[in-house]
Structure 1
């Protein structure tokens, strides 16, 4: 399982140092001077921008990794489809091979049955029968036999000559057997060809299966990296959001201070006008009583509209 540290090193991205973050306490916010708050707002803004840039880079890396994950999953799916297609072909050739082997077995069974019917596989061979006949004939010619023995010998010779004739007739009529054997061997050969295809296609299907497994494994590894990168993105983005929130709070406080200052200035101006008015009214009262006014007094009367 990949770690955040490994992802940071592998993708050469800047690690977020919390020591660089800018803190804002309630005491700083409520009791800090305007100058201090303006400085703190600048620090928060700059750090927020750095963190947003960091989050953007991490989000881009995460998206790239997710895209690579999808590519690997698509690659694995292609191998899966090719494997399944080849396995279907394997099954087709297996079925055909089994069907042909069954047909060949039936033909070879027919061959054996035909051989048994023709008795080619049992009994004495033609050469053996010829030798036996020659031996019997030689005996008939060289031995002195009584009538009964000679009759039995002649019957044996005739019997073996009949068997020899039957054997020769069957041997001469083996074309059906030869054709049947040839057909059986051709069917068996065709079955062997399908078996060869089964082997070839099964090997290819296994290759695609292995490639599918490897692609899924790589997809899992890249997905783990993407997940870690997403956590790094969230870490930076949350810190950026906090800095932005604190920046907004400082800005709000500065606006409040501006309003307070403006109110103080207005109050001071109003108080000053009230004082000037009171002073002008005193001067005006002196004027009505006949006292001589200097230039400054006259200007004060003009300013307040009493003259």
Structure 2
């Protein structure tokens, strides 16, 4: 089983340092000054971008591993298809071999039957008879024998020659037998060729089977690495998402503070306008009573719309 550390080292992937993460507490969000929150927003944004880049790199490596997994699975499938195709051929050649062997057995049974009918199975075969005769003649020519022994030897040679002649006549009269023997041997030879093909194809099919197993094993190993890389991607992406959510919360809080400041400025302006109005009314009353007004007083009356 592939471990996280093995994947980190093999693919030169940086460990996610949690110490570099930016933490946002409710207390800091609610009570932090605007300056502090602006600084915090920048830190959250930068860390989010860093984590998104890390997640993107891990996703890319994960996708590469998944692609390699698919390649190995495709390779295994091709070996499977070739193995199955070869096994089909093996079965075809086996069937033909078995059919030919059965036919050859029938033919050889017919040969044996024909030999029996021709009485060729009884006694010594032609080659043995010829060898025996040759040995007896050599003995006659090289050994010194008594008259009785030589007469017996000559008689034995003559009997062997008669037997040989009879057997040769039978064979000559059995041309059909020779043809049957040739046919049987030819069929047996064809069966042997199919058997050889069975052996060759079976070996080739086994090789493709072994390569299929190896490809599936490699695919499983790469898939384990892809799964571990996906976990690393999720780890970085979740951290990036959390920083983004906190960044959005800070931005929202900053907008609230801006709104509060704007409301305060509005109230302040309204208060200032009310105060100016009251002052202008006092000046206007003084004017009506005949007091002399300076330029600044006149400008205040004009600004208040009383002139």
Instruction: State if a TM-score over 0.5 links the two structures.
Output: yes
- Counterparts of 1:165 and 1:50, CA distance in 2: 107
Match runs of 1:49-88 below 5 Å: 49-88=49-88
- Counterparts of 1:25 and 1:279, CA distance in 2: 48
SS at match of 2:120: coil
Instruction: Please list the CA deviations of residues 179-207 of structure 1 after superposition, one character each: whole Å capped at 9, or x if unmatched.
Output: 11111111111111111111111110000
Residue of structure 1 equivalent to 2:271: 271
Residue of structure 2 equivalent to 1:152: none
How far did residue 77 of structure 1 move?
Answer: 0.3
How far did residue 125 of structure 1 move?
Answer: 7.2
- Counterparts of 1:12 and 1:261, CA distance in 2: 49
1:194 aligns with 2:194: yes
Residue of structure 2 equivalent to 1:180: 180
Residue of structure 2 equivalent to 1:90: 90
Q: What TM-score does the superposition give when structure 1 sets the normalisation length?
A: 0.86
- Counterparts of 1:246 and 1:168, CA distance in 2: 112
- Counterparts of 1:64 and 1:98, CA distance in 2: 51
Question: Which deviates more, 221-230 or 115-124?
Answer: 115-124
- Counterparts of 2:167 and 2:236, CA distance in 1: 101
Consecutive unaligned residues of structure 1, counting only runs of 5 or more, are: 132-138, 143-161
- Structure 1 residues 213, 280: closer, same or farther in 2, change over 3 A? same
How far did residue 295 of structure 1 move?
Answer: 2.5
- Counterparts of 2:287 and 2:174, CA distance in 1: 163
1:258 aligns with 2:254: no
Q: Where do 4+ consecutive residues of structure 1 move more than 6 Å?
A: 124-128, 162-166
SS at match of 1:257: helix
Match runs of 1:108-147 below 5 Å: 108-123=108-123
How far did residue 122 of structure 1 move?
Answer: 1.3
Residue of structure 1 equivalent to 2:299: 299
How far did residue 289 of structure 1 move?
Answer: 1.3
1:9 aligns with 2:9: yes
Residue of structure 1 equivalent to 2:228: 228
Instruction: Please list the CA deviations of residues 137-177 of structure 1 after superposition, one character each: whole Å capped at 9, or x if unmatched.
Output: xx9xx9xxxxxxxxxxxxxxxxxxx9998655423313122
Question: Which deviates more, 289-298 or 90-99?
Answer: 289-298
SS at match of 1:122: coil
Match runs of 1:20-31 below 5 Å: 20-31=20-31
Residue of structure 2 equivalent to 1:41: 41
- Counterparts of 1:83 and 1:9, CA distance in 2: 37
How far did residue 3 of structure 1 move?
Answer: 1.2
Residue of structure 2 equivalent to 1:203: 203
CA RMSD of aligned residues (A): 2.5
- Structure 1 residues 164, 250: closer, same or farther in 2, change over 3 A? closer
Q: What TM-score does the superposition give when structure 2 sets the normalisation length?
A: 0.86
